[in-house]
Structures are given as C-alpha cells and as structure tokens.
Amino acid sequence: MSGETKYLWMDGELKHWNEGSIHVMSHALHYGSSFFEGIKCYETSQGPAVFRLKEHMIRLHESASIYNMSLPFSVEELVKAVKDLIKVNNLKSCYIRPVAFYGYDTLGVHPKKCPIQIAIATFDWGAYLGEGAIENGVRVTISPWRKFHSSSLPTVAKAGGQYLNSILAAQDAQEKGYDEGLLLNGDGNIAEGAGQNIFIIKNNEIYTNAEDSCILMGITRETIIQLLMDLGYKVHIGKLSLGQLFNADEAFFTGTASEVTPIREVDKRSIGDGKPGAITQLIQETYFDVIKGRNNKYDHWLSYIK
C-alpha cells in the first residue's frame, strides 16, 4: 500500500513491513474474528504525539473481551509498542492501525485453540474522505442497508467482521457518486456513517446519539462532546431523526480518520447553506489545536514520542 513504513510490530517483535504475514487458513480471514483501532500521531512543536493512545488500547482490549478473547499483551505493552514503532520508523506524523485476531488452528466457527495474534502498523493515509473534505464538507447519501442491532452483534465492539455492514454502505455511496453513506438503525433513526459518528446543530445547540442508537462509542465523538461543553455549548444526547438532519443548520462527522468533517449535503438536500457552518468551523479549529499540542489544557490526551 502507499505510505507504508519500514517496520511494523507483530506479536512482540519489530519486523520489516513485508514480513507482516499470516496463514491463509487463519480464523480471522474466514470469520472476521479480529478487533482493531484507528489512531493518529500528529506533528507538534514538542515532537510527534499520539492522540488518546491509551484510550484506544483500552477499547481494543474491551472489544476483544466482549468476544471472550484475552489479549496476550497489556495496554501498557501495546502503548510502548506504538511508541517504539514510531521511533524506529522515524515518523513525525502517521496513522496507526493495531489489529488483534485469531490465527490458524481450526476452521470451526468456535476459535478453540486458535492463537491470538496482534500486529501494529504505521503509515500515511492522507485525507480519509478525500482531498478538501475537511475544508469544504462532504456529500452523503442514506444507505439502503440498516445498521445491525445491538441484540445481534455488540455495536460497542470495534470488530472486523462487523464492518461488512459498513462496507456495503460505503460501496453504495461510492457507486451513487457520494463521499460517504449514512446508516439508519432498525427503528429508522440515524445510527452513524460507514466509519464515523454524527453531530447535528440547530439553533446553536448540538445533538448526537447514544449507544442505544446502535453506534460505536467513538473516542473522537467523546472528545468532541467534551470540547463543545467546555466551549459553553449545550449537547443533547438522544435519538436523531432524518427530519432533524434535513432541517439542521449544520452537521458534521467525527472519527479518528475523518477528524471533524462537515456534511454539506444529504441526498441532494443542502445542510444549512451548503457550506461548513460557524460552529463546525470552531470545533474543527479547537480540535486541531488540541491534537497538535497547541492547547495545554488537553495535553493529558497526548502521548509524546521523545
């Protein structure tokens, strides 16, 4: 892939990028029994800094635990592995992808004695929703596919197999000429984007949904809620309807890869005046100040690579 680095970390060892291989009969390849995180490292005036690294590794452990997988490396060991990898690859900024998965032993649905493997890679991903998305906003379509219900699969787990749902939404959006798909849940309310949480703004108040809307409880989502409250805005957490979205003054996606991406259009309906709004631009600016180490108040969210 483009942007690959010299080394990756796998099962406790640094390896050359092309040595990061697994057996074709690995359980995860056949059944999606993998768990992953998306994390970002940013260039700051104090050197590279990883945003909310520990929280991501805690969630990796929690996602695996829901499926009765006990990771063979602690949160602290995985945090150190990321820092070591960034150092050895001599990176100033990067995207970080840890993945834990069941390897090869049996092809039965139950993983039984399949080995638990973990790999971490760092690379340059670029703009997730395309160049100019952060500045100009994106065009979104409502997916014909519904987000799975938490009674079918645990929506709070960031599991590989669960993202087949998101693949369908993303493919549908691309085929229709849109930047991203938006999934509704079984009740017909808004769940989330194919890879993002969503926020809606109306009359200077902010709205987002909660776990009972069948969403992934995003770490960026949590960050944005905190920042908005610190800025003095009221954040309502509850169900979101399509009517709310169509009548919104502003709307935006959040996620590690998407950061804070304005939504300018949904199925050919302009959101507000079809341009990134004032509050969206303010939270963008605030978020970027935080992740790039320009706001000391939130330095505890940064893991500096020194």
User: DSSP for 129-186?
Assistant: T-TTHHHH-EEEEEEEEEPPPTTTS-TTS-BTGGGHHHHHHHHHHHHTT-SEEEEE-T
For residue range 287-302, what is the model confidence (pLDDT) as tens digits?
999 999 999 999 999 9
- As a whole number, mean pLDDT of residues 97-102 equals 98
Confidence of residue 4 (pLDDT cuts 50, 70, 90): confident
Domains recognised in the chain with CATH numbers: 7-123 (3.30.470.10), 133-291 (3.20.10.10)
Can 158 be counted among the known catalytic residues? yes
Hey, CA dihedral for 140, 173, 149, 164, is it positive or negative?
negative
Q: What is the pLDDT of residue 306?
A: 85
For residue range 252-283, what is the model confidence (pLDDT) as tens digits?
999 999 999 999 999 999 999 999 999 999 99
Q: Is the pLDDT of residue 52 over 70?
A: yes
How many whole angstroms separate alpha carbon 87 and alpha carbon 93? 11
Mean pLDDT for the chain?
96
Confidence of residue 34 (pLDDT cuts 50, 70, 90): very high
**To the nearest whole percent, how much of the chain has pLDDT over 70?**
99
Q: What is the pLDDT of residue 1?
A: 52
- As a whole number, mean pLDDT of residues 77-92 equals 97
Instruction: Count the residues in the chain.
Output: 306
Q: Is the pLDDT of residue 68 over 70?
A: yes
- The Cβ-side half-sphere exposure at 81, using a 13 Å CA radius, reads 25
Q: What is the pLDDT of residue 160?
A: 98
For residue range 112-123, what is the model confidence (pLDDT) as tens digits?
999 999 999 999
The single residue of 6, 87, 158, 202 carrying the catalytic annotation is 158
Q: Which residue has the higher pLDDT, 306 or 255?
A: 255
Q: What is the pLDDT of residue 109?
A: 97
How far, in Å, are 104, 164, 165, 166, 194 from residue 146 at the CA level? 32, 12, 8, 10, 11
For residue range 188-222, what is the model confidence (pLDDT) as tens digits?
999 999 999 999 999 999 999 999 999 999 999 99
For residue range 143-176, what is the model confidence (pLDDT) as tens digits?
999 999 999 999 999 999 999 999 999 999 999 9
The H or E element containing residue 86 is helix 75-88
